[in-house]
């Protein structure tokens, strides 16, 4: 084998602490090396040409590049090698930057270590074999999980590009939290007015298959080739017959027992219900936990009044399987509840604000419902306890956010803006009302955001107080809010009629379970994690699974929509070619040696090991052996390390290659 | 039931009746308290405001003595003692280097720090059922405002009850048949140690608490801390001389209200030593439970 060694200075990054000339000179004497040079920027065009030219001139069939991490430029150099007619897998990278120059100071020591690493790589490349990339087909269908604004945007973008979409929403209607909002910052346009046309577009889109009241149960397969099992929960209403006339809901005798989820527990709903009048699809579901028929069998009023005979008490959950190429996660958020201290939660609760005790201490989403024209008060400001117009409202920001001792350490990002909006909406309708906002900092980064907050303060006269509230208690129908003005350095007491807590945004309670089902990482809060915070913000580390909206981190509508479009674009990039190329460095079973113990199957994190039956010509079973699904295998090598009989190896990283590397260092 | 008992200085001074009533009640509930031999100051007030290390060492000494005596569980009826012992236990467990330093100071080794209960936790441990079982008199005419003060349910996080909306004392008091009221100032500051130097502060703060309890319909206040008791009971005279329209309200220790339910009279429980005279709530007065 004729090996060429190319040492990169990386400007001064490597050159400053490694004597590159000495490294290349030493490498020239290694057995098998026929050519060795150093150069200032090997990744540059002239640098790459240097490699290509040397391959031609010296008829090289193995290349070692001493440069930065293979994460940076392995692809670059392998491509250069391939361009010159040598199999790209015959090119190895020795990491002289992250592993040497950046972590050492002494030039002599660093140079010696660099020489060792080159020797190491040379021994490996001698044992490399030409490999070809694996090609797998791509199913050009996208699954979007979650039908809030992020899911809607992602689904529409992908569908409008001509690809099929399956949109799964666990609630009876799509629309998410955005459908509950009154007006949106910083423009104060009506949330439903801009959202509902989108919802209808989803419903009517020929490329979108909408599955509401459904949940993802199982995800198998891999990028481009997922098989997804979806549970379509029983609505007890035949969606092919129902016209959404609403007669059943009107006649349902259960009116008070169930609290409306859409109105954030401020009102009640019937047992058979649609969450809100503009629901998509406009098909009701029966809440079996309160329905008299399901509890005692004594009522079937809805069935009697339905002119279309659409009520179907015997309906059962349905399991659907869908072939999917890409998955977009858009499961959104929940508000941290002020009702009661959550069980088994790291959050300690805010008893000092009277959670669940005072009816007029509400959270941000409840305030949205009160402010909304479609809400329980038709947009009139009335407090929940007695329906009186509150003349003094205190808004408290950062309840649960930025609070390491009692809540979460992160900033929920949207509260500064929506609190300013709340105070503004209130002042617009109750002119003689007073609005106080307790804040820590006003974080209003965003287009026209700071201007919006200034408008609340300067034009609408909202009183901002920098400080925290220590306590709220009720006295003679007023809520006594005790706080501190930290700028004036004085304690403050306000006798408010109503208090609005900007509680933290938290991940959906079942987000971690869903992440395990789908196979993507999540952080300690339950938010899904991206591969790279700056350069790959919408991709999960599992191939073909993308992230959109508040399931990734707290974010507002514009950010969620932008992220959803980005995730949609990533899915479409995947659909740009018919075949998908994958690294060939995966595990391979030596079927002669394999004893069929399947320890490898137990340890494989990607479910890539299958059981293969070996039969003789008559069809009698001889033995069972492990078999690697090349689509699923990620080449992690866990099976390789586990196998007791050494009969499973990682292509490109065989035991022989690894031992050769180690010997080179001895 | 065996339990280690850390009385603390108040139980032998201003809160003698707390100690007396507690011992009577425990006897009926089949609890045999073992006093920690040679116990000393818990490190409250003067110690913990002057030197953190001193306050830890003082509590640690008592914990080490309890361990040496083979006590697995101890209880401290005074909320300040409880708070100091618990804080010290927590710091010794969390910070091994500090534990080493404290061990050197007190010249004792600490290995297994006993479980520490306050009076409410301890009655929870004994059980509401047991109290109800031994109850001789139903206190149904009592409308009790349970006052926790600042120390009983803190520090938050290492304490078992909710430190902002506690409810554990109410649960115990209800076992006597008494009603409990929901009110605002269960945790509000009574003025604490300012009782001596700044009586004016204590008068104002304690009045606020007493007024709120009365306003919410209470006819008795129940406390579990000698300092709370002295401020709320003893200072009512001073409040009255400053605010002529102030209405008095009796203040009982948790052990005293339990004692009444268990059939003891005021004198046996030391209630006759309080500044504000306690009379059984009227309206047909307290009735015997027919057997």
The CATH number assigned to the domain holding B175 equals 3.40.50.11810
Name the 3-class secondary structure at B117. strand
- Residue A24 lies inside a defined structural domain of this protein: yes
Instruction: Print the domain residue range for B26.
Output: 2-119
pLDDT in tens, B230-282: 999 999 999 999 999 999 999 999 999 999 999 999 999 999 999 999 987 75
Whether residue A115 contacts residue A30, with contact meaning beta carbons closer than 8 Å, is answered with no
Q: Tell me, yes or no, whether B153 and B273 share the same domain.
A: yes
Contacting residues of B for A350, CB less than 8 Å apart: 164
Partner-chain contact A348 B184, CB within 8 Å? no
In chain B, DSSP assigns E strands to 2-5, 32-35, 73-76, 115-118, 137-138, 143-147, 179-180, 220-223, 251-253, 287-288
Cα separation, B34 vs B17, in Å, equals: 18
Last residue of a domain, one of B95, B119, B143: B119
Q: Within 10 Å of residue A372's Cβ, how many Cβ atoms?
A: 22
Parallel/antiparallel/unpaired status of strands A225-232 and A318-324: antiparallel
DSSP A351-414: GGGTTTT-TTEEEHHHHHHHHSTTSTTTT----TTT-PPPSEEEEEEEESTT-TTTS-SS--SS
- Residue A558 lies inside a defined structural domain of this protein: yes
Name the 3-class secondary structure at A496. strand
Q: Tell me, yes or no, whether A121 and A47 share the same domain.
A: yes
The CATH number assigned to the domain holding A17 equals 3.40.50
Name the 3-class secondary structure at A416. helix
Q: Tell me, yes or no, whether A188 and A64 share the same domain.
A: no
Q: Tell me, yes or no, whether A179 and A264 share the same domain.
A: no
Radius of gyration of chain A (CA): 31
- On the CB side of B90, how many CA atoms lie within 13 Å of its CA? 12
Q: Does A268 sit behind a cis peptide bond, omega within 30 degrees of 0 on the bond before it?
A: no
Low-confidence ranges of chain A (pLDDT < 50): none
Q: Tell me, yes or no, whether B115 and B140 share the same domain.
A: no
Cα separation, B32 vs B30, in Å, equals: 7
pLDDT for the residue A346? 64
Contacting residues of A for B163, CB less than 8 Å apart: 351
Ordered alpha helix ranges (H), A240-328:
247-251, 292-296, 301-305
Last residue of a domain, one of A484, A506, A528: A506
Q: Tell me, yes or no, whether B112 and B32 share the same domain.
A: yes
**Which DSSP letter does residue A161 get?**
T
Contacting residues of A for B162, CB less than 8 Å apart: 341, 349, 351
Contacts of residue A301, defined as CB under 8 A and 6 or more positions apart, other chains included, come to A248, A251, A252, A253
Place of tokens 């938290």: A506
- Residue A436 lies inside a defined structural domain of this protein: yes
Q: Tell me, yes or no, whether B267 and B136 share the same domain.
A: yes
Q: Tell me, yes or no, whether B136 and B97 share the same domain.
A: no
- Count of domains for chain A: 5
Q: Tell me, yes or no, whether B266 and B136 share the same domain.
A: yes
Name the least confident of A324-333, A459-468, B44-53, B96-105: B44-53
| Tokens at A604, concatenated | 């494989």
- Count of domains for chain B: 2
- Residue B66 lies inside a defined structural domain of this protein: yes
Cα separation, A393 vs A383, in Å, equals: 10
- Residue B14 lies inside a defined structural domain of this protein: yes
Q: Tell me, yes or no, whether A70 and A111 share the same domain.
A: yes
Name the 3-class secondary structure at B196. helix
**Residue B285: is its pLDDT beyond 50?**
no
CA angle, residues A125, A129, A134, in degrees to nearest 5 = 120
- Residue B155 lies inside a defined structural domain of this protein: yes
Partner-chain contact B157 A348, CB within 8 Å? yes
Name the 3-class secondary structure at A466. strand
- Residue B126 lies inside a defined structural domain of this protein: no
Q: Tell me, yes or no, whether B142 and B279 share the same domain.
A: yes
Torsional class of B157: left (φ above 0), alpha (ψ -120 to 50), beta (otherwise):
left
Whether residue A567 contacts residue A587, with contact meaning beta carbons closer than 8 Å, is answered with no
Place of tokens 């790959």: A536
- Residue A225 lies inside a defined structural domain of this protein: yes
Whether residue A648 contacts residue A600, with contact meaning beta carbons closer than 8 Å, is answered with yes
CA distances from A403 to A143, A399, A426, A503 (A): 36, 8, 27, 11
Q: Name every residue in B having a CB less than 8 A away from some CB of A.
A: 156-157, 162-165, 184-185
- Residue A664 lies inside a defined structural domain of this protein: no
| Tokens at A4, concatenated | 């060429």
Q: Give which of A29, A48, A25 is closest to A38, Cα–Cα.
A: A25
- Residue A238 lies inside a defined structural domain of this protein: no
**Residue B288: is its pLDDT beyond 70?**
no
A473 at B interface, C-beta within 8 A: yes
First to last CA, chain A: 23
| Model pTM score | 0.84
- Residue A78 lies inside a defined structural domain of this protein: yes
Q: Tell me, yes or no, whether A501 and A518 share the same domain.
A: no
Cα separation, B201 vs B225, in Å, equals: 19
Q: Tell me, yes or no, whether B37 and B167 share the same domain.
A: no
Q: Is B37 exposed, middle or buried (0-12, 13-18, 19+ CB in 10 A)?
A: exposed
| Tokens at A17, concatenated | 């602490």
Q: Tell me, yes or no, whether A546 and A617 share the same domain.
A: no
Contacts of residue A4, defined as CB under 8 A and 6 or more positions apart, other chains included, come to A33, A34, A35, A36, A51, A54, A55, A58, A60, A62, A63, A64
A348 at B interface, C-beta within 8 A: yes
Exposure string of A172-205, with b = 16+ CB inside 10 Å and e = fewer, is bbbbbbbbbbbbbbbeeebbbeebbebbebbeeb
The CATH number assigned to the domain holding B12 equals 1.20.1050.140
Q: Tell me, yes or no, whether A263 and A378 share the same domain.
A: no
Q: Does A63 sit behind a cis peptide bond, omega within 30 degrees of 0 on the bond before it?
A: no
Q: Tell me, yes or no, whether B192 and B281 share the same domain.
A: yes
Last residue of a domain, one of B72, B96, B119: B119
- Residue B127 lies inside a defined structural domain of this protein: no
Contacting residues of A for B185, CB less than 8 Å apart: 473
pLDDT in tens, B144-190: 999 999 999 988 777 778 888 899 999 999 999 999 999 999 999 99
Q: Tell me, yes or no, whether B159 and B276 share the same domain.
A: yes
**Residue B46: is its pLDDT beyond 90?**
no
* Mean pLDDT score across all residues of chain B: 91
pLDDT for the residue B58? 96
| Tokens at A589, concatenated | 């079973």
**Residue B55: is its pLDDT beyond 50?**
yes
- Residue B45 lies inside a defined structural domain of this protein: yes
Mutate to test the interface with B, among A346, A473, A474 (most CBs of B within 10 A): A473
Cα separation, A126 vs B19, in Å, equals: 86
- On the CB side of A184, how many CA atoms lie within 13 Å of its CA? 14
Q: Which A residues 83-142 touch B at CB under 8 Å?
A: none
Name the 3-class secondary structure at A541. coil
Place of tokens 């002295």: B230
pLDDT in tens, B112-157: 999 999 999 999 999 999 999 999 999 999 999 999 999 999 887 7
Greatest extent of chain B over all pairs of C-alpha atoms, in Å? 62
pLDDT for the residue B291? 37
Q: Tell me, yes or no, whether A80 and A182 share the same domain.
A: no
Name the 3-class secondary structure at B161. coil
Place of tokens 């040679």: B38
Name the 3-class secondary structure at A420. helix
Q: Tell me, yes or no, whether A457 and A345 share the same domain.
A: yes
- Residue B101 lies inside a defined structural domain of this protein: yes
Q: Tell me, yes or no, whether A84 and A204 share the same domain.
A: no
Last residue of a domain, one of B91, B119, B147: B119
| Tokens at B196, concatenated | 């001596």
DSSP B52-93: HHHHHHHHHHHHHHHHHTT-SEEEESSHHHHHHHHHHHHHHH
- Residue B124 lies inside a defined structural domain of this protein: no
Residue B205 C-alpha, separation from nearest chain A C-alpha, in angstroms = 15
Q: Tell me, yes or no, whether B181 and B249 share the same domain.
A: yes
pLDDT for the residue A145? 98
Q: Within 10 Å of residue A614's Cβ, how many Cβ atoms?
A: 14
Residue A473 C-alpha, separation from nearest chain B C-alpha, in angstroms = 6
Partner-chain contact B162 A352, CB within 8 Å? no
CA angle, residues B183, B187, B188, in degrees to nearest 5 = 90
Contacting residues of B for A349, CB less than 8 Å apart: 162, 164
Last residue of a domain, one of A457, A483, A506: A506
Q: Tell me, yes or no, whether A282 and A258 share the same domain.
A: yes
**Which DSSP letter does residue B149 get?**
T
Partner-chain contact B162 A475, CB within 8 Å? no
Instruction: Print the domain residue range for A292.
Output: 247-305
The CATH number assigned to the domain holding A184 equals 3.50.50.60
Nearest to B162 among A351, A473, A474 (CB): A351
Cα separation, A113 vs A494, in Å, equals: 69
Partner-chain contact B162 A341, CB within 8 Å? yes
- Residue A103 lies inside a defined structural domain of this protein: yes
Name the 3-class secondary structure at B239. helix
Q: Tell me, yes or no, whether A222 and A197 share the same domain.
A: yes
């Amino acid at each position: 084998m004729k090996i060429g060694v190319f040492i990169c200075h990386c400007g001064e990054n490597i050159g400053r602490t490694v004597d590159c000339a000495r490294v290349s000179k030493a490498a020239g004497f290694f057995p098998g090396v026929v050519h060795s040079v150093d150069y200032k920027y090997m990744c540059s065009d002239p640098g790459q040409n240097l490699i290509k030219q040397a391959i031609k001139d010296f008829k090289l069939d193995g290349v070692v590049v001493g440069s930065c991490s293979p994460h940076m430029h392995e692809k670059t150099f392998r491509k250069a090698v391939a361009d010159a007619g040598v199999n790209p897998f015959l090119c190895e990278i020795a990491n002289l930057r992250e592993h040497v120059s950046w972590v050492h100071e002494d030039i002599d020591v660093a140079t010696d270590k660099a020489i060792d690493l080159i020797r190491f790589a040379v021994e490996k490349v001698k044992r490399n074999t030409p490999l070809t990339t694996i090609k797998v087909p791509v199913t050009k269908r996208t699954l979007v999980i979650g039908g809030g604004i992020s899911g809607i945007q992602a689904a529409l973008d992908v569908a409008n590009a001509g690809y099929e979409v399956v949109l799964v929403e666990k609630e009876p209607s799509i629309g998410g939290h955005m459908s509950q909002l009154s007006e949106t910052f910083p423009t104060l346009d009506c949330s439903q007015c801009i959202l509902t046309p989108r919802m209808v577009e989803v419903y009517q889109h020929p490329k979108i298959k909408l599955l509401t009241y459904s949940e993802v149960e199982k995800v198998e397969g891999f990028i481009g080739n997922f098989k997804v099992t979806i549970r379509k929960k029983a609505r007890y209403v035949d969606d092919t017959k129902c016209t959404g006339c609403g007669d059943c809901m009107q006649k349902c005798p259960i009116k008070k027992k169930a609290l409306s989820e859409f109105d954030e527990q401020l009102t009640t709903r019937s047992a058979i219900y649609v969450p809100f009048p503009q629901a998509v699809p406009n098909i009701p579901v029966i809440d079996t936990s309160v329905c008299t028929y399901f509890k005692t069998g004594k009522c079937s009023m809805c069935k009697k009044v339905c002119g279309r005979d659409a009520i179907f008490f015997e309906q059962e959950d349905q399991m659907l399987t869908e072939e999917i190429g890409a998955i977009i996660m858009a499961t959104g958020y929940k508000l941290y509840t002020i009702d009661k201290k959550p069980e088994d939660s790291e959050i300690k609760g805010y008893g000092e604000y009277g959670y669940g005790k005072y009816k007029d201490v509400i959270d941000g989403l409840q305030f949205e419902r009160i402010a909304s024209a479609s809400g329980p008060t038709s947009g009139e400001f009335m407090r929940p306890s007695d329906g009186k117009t509150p003349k003094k409202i205190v808004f408290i920001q950062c309840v649960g956010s930025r609070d390491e001792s009692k809540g979460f350490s992160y900033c929920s990002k949207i509260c500064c803006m929506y609190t300013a909006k709340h105070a503004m909406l209130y002042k617009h309708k109750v002119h003689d009302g007073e609005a106080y906002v307790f804040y820590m900092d006003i974080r209003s980064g965003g287009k026209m955001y700071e201007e919006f907050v200034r408008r609340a303060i300067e034009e609408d006269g909202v009183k901002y107080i920098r400080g925290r509230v220590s306590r709220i208690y009720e006295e003679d129908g007023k809520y006594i809010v005790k706080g501190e003005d930290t700028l004036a350095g004085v304690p403050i007491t306000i006798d408010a009629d109503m208090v609005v807590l900007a509680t933290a945004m938290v991940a959906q309670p079942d987000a971690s379970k869903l992440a395990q089902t789908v196979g993507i990482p999540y952080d300690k809060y339950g938010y899904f994690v991206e591969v790279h915070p700056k350069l790959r913000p919408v991709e999960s580390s599992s191939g073909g699974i993308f992230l959109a909206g508040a399931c990734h981190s707290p974010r507002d509508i514009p950010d969620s929509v932008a992220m959803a479009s980005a995730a949609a674009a990533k899915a479409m990039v995947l659909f740009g070619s018919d075949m998908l190329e994958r690294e060939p460095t995966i595990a391979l079973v030596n079927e002669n040696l394999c004893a069929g113990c399947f320890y490898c199957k137990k340890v494989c994190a990607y479910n890539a090991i299958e059981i293969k039956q070996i039969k003789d010509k008559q069809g009698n079973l001889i033995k069972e052996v492990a078999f690697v699904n090349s689509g699923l295998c990620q080449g992690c090598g866990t099976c390789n390390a586990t196998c007791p009989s050494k009969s499973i190896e990682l292509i490109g990283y065989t035991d022989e290659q690894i031992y050769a590397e180690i010997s080179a260092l001895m | 039931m065996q339990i280690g008992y850390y009385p603390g200085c108040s139980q032998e001074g201003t809160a003698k009746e707390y100690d007396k009533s507690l011992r009577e009640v425990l006897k009926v509930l089949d609890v045999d308290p073992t006093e920690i031999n040679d116990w000393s100051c818990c490190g409250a007030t003067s110690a913990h405001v002057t030197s953190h290390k001193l306050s830890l060492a003082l509590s640690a000494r008592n914990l080490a003595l309890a361990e040496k005596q083979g006590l697995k569980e101890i209880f401290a009826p005074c909320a300040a003692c409880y708070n100091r012992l618990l804080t010290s236990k927590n710091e010794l467990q969390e910070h091994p280097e500090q534990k080493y330093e404290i061990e050197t100071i007190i010249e004792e080794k600490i290995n297994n720090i006993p479980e520490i209960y306050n009076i409410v936790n301890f009655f929870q441990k004994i059980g509401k059922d047991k109290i109800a079982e031994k109850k001789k008199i139903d206190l149904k005419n009592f409308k009790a405002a349970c006052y926790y003060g600042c120390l009983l349910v803190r520090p938050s996080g290492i304490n078992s009850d909710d430190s902002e909306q506690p409810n554990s004392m109410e649960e115990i008091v209800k076992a006597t048949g008494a009603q409990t009221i929901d009110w605002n100032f269960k945790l509000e500051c009574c003025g604490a140690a300012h009782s001596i130097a700044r009586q004016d502060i204590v008068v104002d703060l304690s009045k606020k608490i007493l007024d709120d309890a009365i306003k919410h319909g209470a006819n008795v206040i129940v406390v579990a801390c000698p300092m709370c008791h002295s401020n709320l009971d003893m200072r009512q005279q001073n409040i009255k001389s400053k605010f002529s329209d102030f209405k008095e309200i009796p203040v009982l220790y948790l052990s005293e209200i339990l004692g009444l339910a268990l059939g003891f009279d005021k004198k046996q429980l030391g209630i006759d030593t309080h500044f504000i005279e306690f009379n059984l709530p009227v309206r047909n007065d307290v009735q015997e439970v027919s057997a």
